[in-house]
Chain A
Amino acid sequence: MSGMLAELIIYLIMAVLGIMSTIAVYLAIKERDLVKAVVYSALQSSFYAVLYYFLMAPDIVLVYLPVAVGLVPGVLLILISKTERWEKNEAS
């Protein structure tokens, strides 16, 4: 019975991580400050990494962490620092 309970708790943590990642994605798409959008995307990436951990894929966690948390935000911030930070309004 305690095994069943543990199973439910693991699934609950996974569901909570999924919902939080959805909120992060929504804000990343909606945000007009691009630096903040990159930070939201990094948050979503770390939630996905924990999700991969609970889906029993340590290989993917090891390759996904440097790529999505360590390198992609850096590369995107370089692009933003070389170009422009603000996304203009939809209406203009």
Chain B
Amino acid sequence: MKLAELTLLVTLILSLALMLTFAYNYLAPTPEVRNLALFYLITTYNPQLPYYTVNSPEAVTAIVWDYRGLDTLFETAVFYLALIAGLALARRLYRENPVSFLSTNGGLSIIVKTVTKITSPMIIAVGASIGLHGHLTPGGGFQGGATIAVAPMVIIITFSVFYLLTRKVTTEKMLLIRSIGLIGIGLTAISVFIIGLAAGRLAFVFQNMPKANAPMGLPGQVNGVLISGTLWFFNLFEMLAVAAGFTMAFAVLMLAGKER
């Protein structure tokens, strides 16, 4: 037992030293930035370089869903696997009876309830704005979805979890919305490839803008309004999937152990 702890500590110190050795150059930031970052910053929205640009002023979303899109796809897969593993653990612990009673004595006082009634639409509006403007201003699918997921959480806490069920927000519906989001992400990822197949041209999976040897791509602008090709669709579907997945997880977590 003692030996294990000591080994752990020594390993910890050694790995910390290793990390610091690699990070020596970065200990204090400099006014310069790495060349890769310069490439991203210059090409992210630059109509003068049509074969490199993503047509999105937001460099972070451009990296997340275009330059490194495949990484994000598999990270999304990890996220959903963790969620599904959690739900599988709680499978036998909850049951969604069609609840008949409308809880009036559950939850917090009437003041908090009224304030929550006004602010929940505001929360969803703010979240939708964050998600749908992900390619223009800071934000994106993950941020918008996580923001929207706070609204059902606050409603569950202030009213009751049964209130959400009487409002017909059940886990089946949330599962449906989440699946729509996932299928949307998958279809968007291969959309340009399918268009290329139909047109008989060369096109890649996870392609967004036309490239030099693959002249297919979704439009960067519609009627003078930037939508940045696939980024808009990715943000929309990711927002739906994240919000629905978290809402489902909260409802199950609250219902667990309340078999009546």
Contacts and interface: CB of A to CB of B under 8 A. Distances in A.
CB atoms of A and B under 8 A apart anywhere in the complex? yes
Interface in A57-71: 58-59, 61-63, 66-67, 70-71
Contact of A63 (B146, B157, B253, B257): B146
A78 B149 CA distance: 16
Query: Which of A66, A75, A78, A82 has the most chain B CB within a 10 Å cutoff?
Result: A66
Interface of B: 58, 60-61, 130, 138-140, 142-143, 146-147, 149-150, 153, 157, 246, 250, 253-254, 256-257
Contacts, number: 39
Nearest to B140: A59
B256 to A, nearest CB: 8
The main secondary structure of chain A at its interface with chain B is helix
Given A66-B146, A66-B149, A74-B153, A59 B60 contact: yes
B220 to A, nearest CB: 21
Nearest to B61: A59
A70 to B, nearest CB: 4
Given A70-B146, A82-B256, 10 more contacts: A66-B143, A66-B146, A70-B150, A70-B153, A71-B149, A74-B153, A74-B157, A75-B253, A78-B254, A82-B257
B139 A59 contact: yes
